[in-house]
Amino acid sequence: MTRRLLVIISDRLSTLVHKGEVTQRYYNPGNVFEEVHILEINDDRPEAAAVQPMVGDATLVIHNLPAGLRTLVRSLGWRPRLLRRWAEGAVQLARSVRPSLVRCYGAHLNAYAAYRIRRVLGTPYVVSLHINPDEDVRGRARGLKELILTRAIESVERIALRSADLVLPVYEPIVPYLQKVGVSRFEVVHNALNPMCLGRKASYRLHDPVRMVSVGRQFAAKNATNLIRALAALPGVQLTLIGDGPYHTRLVREAEVAGVSDRVEFRRAVANDELCRRLPEFDLFAVHSEYWEISKAVLEALLTGLPVVLNRRKGEPVPELRNDLVLLVDDTPAAYAAAVRRLIQDHPYRENLGRRAFEYARAHWAPEHMEARVAKLYRGLLDTADRLRSEDVREDS
């Protein structure tokens, strides 16, 4: 029997392709499924060939079920019972496609659609959670509109997570939220990273000038201003800032004001394959984040063996970073400058930090290990579903 996967996402695939965030087998780890249907809950029309690597060897079919302002209004602010009419489109698609499993990335309306499919058709579903909603969504809401929307989705989020056959938080700080809302079927599986292009740093001899890289979305909670300002005290360092967002223009101006524009390269987007291949060519990785997370960008740097400088966030520390894997600093220009200067001047420390981080990261977050874990979890759910169907058939006969 053909194994089919229905993936329901809120993201726009064309945006992921444009940003270069195309990871091999991301939606079909281990090539478990022969057919993958991706349902976008928007009106995006991506080029299927560009998305194909994300489903591996499977046949790819892309569908749309838009959920815009009209859905918000008709459901009186995403009230679960009033969303059933919209979700019926997803149920009808699943009835036609007959997926073996439904997979959601994030717990928004996409996960509610999976919940309704489960209720009507009995198809198991898995949800991965990529952020702690209380800490880094509702806790960072700005303005009345954003606060209302983050509160409105809360009931949908909880229903979908509690009813899922399995929830996959992508880092440990998400676990307290799941426990708070009563989710018991979960397993921490870190972000799926590039399985083909992540290479190991071979030499820790510094370039002249020193090459430092920072990767991440550019907005308030990941504001790289102090890192840019630190360059004024680091004349022998060049910084490559990779990312885009509402703070991009502000950061460009900040480099001009600090007098370091000639030593900062801004790149709005870099294909993930290219980025992962290039990481070992840098000397240092530095970033700012107030999120309670270990981001994909940091994981990629650690898996490369780059020495990493990261700010101490306001709030509880990230459990994954408790093993001295990174050099933690206060979020000030002076602290960043002092940390970078130490890494430049202390060659044994710099090399030891990078090598220790690489060994730990490979042991805990290697892409092939994460992919194999998810594939194993999928097969376990599929085997259970097959067994239950067989038992139902025997009881009916």
Domain spans of the chain? 4-189+368-396, 210-365
Nearest to residue 350, comparing CAs of 199, 212, 233?
212
Report how far residue 35's alpha carbon sits from residue 55's, in angstroms, rounded to the nearest whole number: 9
Task: Note the pLDDT of residue 323.
Answer: 75
Task: Note the pLDDT of residue 8.
Answer: 98
Report how far residue 336's alpha carbon sits from residue 330's, in angstroms, rounded to the nearest whole number: 7
Report how far residue 60's alpha carbon sits from residue 55's, in angstroms, rounded to the nearest whole number: 7
Helix 347-365 × helix 367-396 angle, to 10°: 10
Q: What is the identity of the amino acid at 257?
A: V
Task: Note the pLDDT of residue 207.
Answer: 97
Pair of tokens at residue 340: 């970078």
> Taking a C-beta distance cutoff of 8 angstroms, is the pair 275, 215 a contact?
yes
β-bridge mates for residue 210, sequence order = 237
Task: Note the pLDDT of residue 397.
Answer: 52
CATH code linked to domain 4-189+368-396: 3.40.50.2000
Task: Note the pLDDT of residue 103.
Answer: 98
Splitting the chain (397 residues) into consecutive groups of 10 residues, what average pLDDT does each group show?
95 93 95 98 96 98 95 92 96 98 97 98 97 87 78 92 98 96 96 91 97 96 97 97 96 97 96 95 97 95 98 91 91 98 98 97 95 97 85 59
> Taking a C-beta distance cutoff of 8 angstroms, is the pair 14, 46 a contact?
yes
b/e burial code for range 344-365 (CB count within 10 A of at least 16 → b): beeeeebbebbebbbebbbebb
Q: Give SS3 for 240.
A: strand
Task: Note the pLDDT of residue 339.
Answer: 98
Domain 4-189+368-396 and domain 210-365 have a common topology: yes
Task: Note the pLDDT of residue 396.
Answer: 58
CATH class of the domain defined by 210-365: alpha beta
Task: Note the pLDDT of residue 385.
Answer: 86
